[in-house]
Amino acid sequence: MYRKSLLAVLISSSLLLGCDSETVVVEVEREVIVTPPPTVDTSAVVLTDLDTVYGYASENGGTTGGSGENRVEVVVCTGEQMIAALKNKDPQRPLTIWVNGTITLQNAKDSRIDIKDIRDVSIIGLGSQGEMAGIGFNIVRAQNIIIRNLRIHHVRANLGAPGDGISIEGPASNIWIDHNEIYNSLTVDDASLTLDQVKDYYDGLVDAKGDARYITISFNKFHNSWKTSLVGSSDSDNYERTLTYHHNHWYNVNSRLPLFRFGKGHIYNNFYDGALESGINSRMGAVIRIEQNHFANMKNPVMSMFSQQIGYWQLIDNIFENITWEPGAAGSVIANDNQSTGELLVPYDYQQSLIPVQQVKETVLRYAGVGKIETPPSPGLCPAPEPEVAVPEDPTPPPVPIDPVEPPANVDWNIYAADLEPFASNAVTLADGSLGQFAPQQSGGAAEPNLFSANGDGTVTFDSTASGSDRSRAKLDSVIAADGVYPKYFTLLMGLQGNTDNQRIIETEIAFGDTEGSAGSRLKVVFRGDGSNAGIQLENANNGSSITFGKGNEPDAIDMTQYRVYHFTIALSSPTTGNIAVYIEGNNTPLGVLEGVTMRPASNASDNYLQLGDAGNSSYKGDIDWVLWTDAGAYTPAMLKGLLPNGIGDISGYDN
């Protein structure tokens, strides 16, 4: 571009006419060349090939799913049909399942869709009609799996399933999750729930745990989620996971974008628009290549926080727009100086799919989500579900958990007096007078450390503060009758001393498995001493939500640093439902009561145990004075006055 300007030139007349002559100004017009700034292209890139797998899923032989000349194709309208197609798959032939309607818990007659012990499968929505409403996928011991073009949403946590939109549990490899829309909700229509309970109401959108490798997650919409994408379930979940995230749209989410422990990640050409707490969280030595992404309107897009070890990242040509950088907890690393802390060279070619960072936003907005890929035409809408046939009422109503109202004359207690560490021989006296002991557990095939130590004064200290990622659990089997008869009852009392270090105290879990039943439940109690979160937390016990009694920031807060007797009663009307009451210090007025709730599912229907310790990921410290339990009844403190064994320790509130 040219611009004309006038150049004023002063010519001294002394040079031309002598010193006494006046100065003459001569204006000369010149043409000056001005180079314009380069134009930045922010339009969408036109993409013509959306069916090629890039990233880690292209390695290890590639990911083809259910494609192939000899493939079997099935169109499904219900979850039952999908489950049957997976169950009946010919192991020698790839399987493609076309989803032509809405899959629900009701038409699946199950809590999840298992893609388990299987390979060479594609599950793809037809057009824009494929939907998973309230039910997710559980990928376990599977290889060469593709999930595309589906809306997956509102998958509740703790309904007998992992609770994720898509859960990948290793060993699993060559997984391609592409062109889906996966979401939950940041709110729950229940005013009685606390914020923590709302956060736990749903789980992750896409999570990968254990030995999960060669995974690509591309062109998805992720939104309205507290716990968006988790890679590695805990600081002890140590596997060399390899995942690629590209061209995804993340918006209206809280955190975990993703949370990545161990292994290697490649995150490129994603558009992040809004995150309440944080973005990419690299932890436990993970190395992530973060390349040509557009981050907008969020806090801490890249960081390492909340693990025993930090993770690392390589930042390459990213856009940071309207970003807030805030310092984290002690030991955290925040990428607010836009400096790389590591380097990752990926083994695959992805340059054909890498687009200029200025065009990421519009390209992702145009192509991410469902209805963007070509699929066969729908064979027609799925038939409307048949109306449910009314079932005549059973004249005999099912049993309800009516808690005992008469005090027992005596109680045959099971006793752990904590004179010895729980793994020691004869540490436990059972109700029939025999002696036993708790068994140590394993994590990832390795024996867990013993973090219990006897103090010589009739108490045992549990301390996992040296490494919060360590698990250490003492487990005793067969603690409740497994006879298929309901109602069932259970009473548990524990004499515990907390700590003054602002740490959690201990976890206690009871599983009520029944060999005669088809389902099982459990109660997990976390004794917490950590500030405003202190109190007695019942994890996922309140119809799938967690609840804390005596919480540190509430009017009925209790001082968890002190010694006291904690008392729990459980009355089960079925393997999965019942009443729970919590008492402290022998007070017959409950600290909290749950009535007619769906219990937290057991990992296996037959699980039947009492477990003490730490299941990992947090630090615990506390002293055990004694533990008592019985399945003879659900007894209140008033019923047990004078009925606790002598000589076990401090039984204040129950001694007369």
- Residues with a known catalytic role: 256
Tell me the DSSP string of 324-388. Answer: E----STT-EE-TT---S-----SS--GGG---GGGHHHHHHHHSSTT-S--PPPSSPPPPPPPP
3-state secondary structure of 563: strand
Token representation of residue 302: 């890249």
20 Cβ contact list (under 8 Å, min separation 6): none
What letter would DSSP give residue 461?
E
Estimate to the nearest angstrom the gap between the alpha carbon of 325 and the chain centroid.
24
Distance CA 564, CA 536 (A): 12
Contact 22, 10 (CB under 8 A): no
384 Cβ contact list (under 8 Å, min separation 6): none
Contact 556, 549 (CB under 8 A): yes
CB atoms within 10 A of CB 614: 25
What are 217's strand-pairing partners? 177, 245
Estimate to the nearest angstrom the gap between the alpha carbon of 610 and the chain centroid.
25
Distance CA 334, CA 324 (A): 11
What letter would DSSP give residue 80?
H
Contact 480, 487 (CB under 8 A): no
Tell me the DSSP string of 194-240. Answer: -HHHHHHHB--SEEEESSEEEEEEES-EEEEEEE--EESSSTT----
Contact 525, 538 (CB under 8 A): yes
Contact 94, 71 (CB under 8 A): yes
Contact 334, 328 (CB under 8 A): yes
505 Cβ contact list (under 8 Å, min separation 6): 496, 498, 499, 527, 528, 529, 560, 620, 621, 622
Residue (of 184, 152, 203, 202) closest to 369 by Cα position: 152
